[in-house]
Amino acid sequence: MRHRAFFWFILPSLTAMILLIALPIVSVFVQSLYVEHEQILKVTKNCTPFGCKEETTVDFEATQALTKEAPLGKFNGFDTYANRSHLAFYEVKTAWQTADGLQSFFSNLMNLPFYKALAFTLSYTFIVTPFVIVLGLAIALGVNALPKVIKGPTIFVSLLPMIVTPLIGSLILFWMIDAKGIIGATLQIIFDDPDLSLKASPALTWITLFVYGIWHSAPFSFIVFYAGLQTVPEETLEAAMIDGASRWQRVRYVVVPYIAPLVTFILLMQLMDNFRVFEPIVGFSAQANATSLSWIIYNDLRGQDIQLFGSAAATSMLTILGVAVLLTPVLIRTWQQFNRKVV
């Protein structure tokens, strides 16, 4: 009876997970095994008083009939994953064999679209995530120590970057770093270089995107930590003060251990969110210097004539695999800590 009640309790959640998570992933995987049909061409002869000329055009009726017959496309198996636009096994092997050293190898690797996007995605994830956690905790500790009169307005102002949608926020910063914007013009004056542009250099573009990511995500970390600080027992903090603990020691040995589960929660959320970075690249028009895995998916699907559904699906599966690899160590550690508490 108890197991039956538990089954009916989890059935709605289990059904939603199957319908909204499992089935879409399976459908995306199936689509990744197919590629788009090639367009069927036809040759027509147009004759005029000045002579006849052959023209090659797309036979839309035959192409549509082929698509209707096999809507998924032409079966390609795992070759899509191995082609130049994705894992590029042959190109990577060639780059390794012809490279003079590691620097030359990685330079050639960055010419491949998938690895170029993967490099930025991983850099963005591993740089923005720790900064967001540390900065959010620092802001929460600072706001928590403020007088009640100014605490409310300070919290509201601190949340503004998160309230603004990512695309709008990136567009605002994009205009500010322009050569005629307040940040771009100021940097030109400081460095006495009228040609200085944050948009022209790949390195400066990456740094700008990192700064934007931290600015936009830090409020989320701050509000979660601030809520957690309200649950830290005052008695424990007062006992630490009586024992002569400094503010830093109270934070390190009392506050941080107490809100450790929140650190894990924010880490999981930020790893998932940052690994799918997309809006800043579009907002900054930074695709010439920085692309991400999500941007590759968007680029495959935005074609007006041909949408590369198979290619986009393959990149999506590789992105899901990347997220799973990133989250696995955190989830394993969380499970181990939970088992220790239960025992």
Q: What is the pLDDT of residue 342?
A: 57
Rounded Cα gap, residues 20 and 11, in angstroms: 14
Q: What is the pLDDT of residue 343?
A: 55
- Name the nearest CA neighbour of 313 among 11, 113, 56, 32: 32
- Cα distances (angstroms) measured from residue 259 to each of 230, 262, 313: 10, 5, 39
Q: Which pLDDT score is estimated for 160?
A: 81
Q: Which residues of the chain form CATH 1.10.3720.10?
A: 112-342
Q: Which CATH class is domain 112-342?
A: mainly alpha
Q: How far is CA 159 from the centre of its chain?
A: 21
Angle at 307 between CA 38 and CA 112, to 5 degrees: 90
CB burial of 16-35 (b: ≥16 within 10 Å; e: otherwise) equals eeeeeeeeeeeebeebbbbb
Residue of 211, 209, 214 lying closest to 120 (CA atoms): 209
**pLDDT of the residue at 305:** 65
Q: What are the pLDDT tens digits along the chain (343 aa)?
A: 466 777 777 888 889 888 888 999 999 999 999 988 777 777 777 777 767 777 777 667 776 777 777 788 888 899 999 999 999 999 999 989 888 888 889 888 999 999 999 999 999 999 999 999 999 999 999 998 888 888 888 888 888 887 777 767 777 777 777 777 777 788 778 877 777 777 777 888 898 899 889 988 999 999 999 999 888 888 888 888 888 888 888 888 888 888 888 999 999 999 999 998 998 888 888 888 899 999 999 999 886 667 888 999 999 999 999 999 988 888 888 888 777 765 5
Tokens representing 328 are 């696995």
CB-based burial, 280-316: b 16+ in 10 Å, e otherwise: bbbbbebbebbbbbbbbbbbbeeeeeeebbbbbbbbb
Decide if 158 contacts 222 (C-beta within 8 A): yes
Cβ neighbours of residue 214 under 8 Å, at least 6 residues apart? 128, 131, 132, 135
Q: State the pLDDT at residue 3.
A: 67
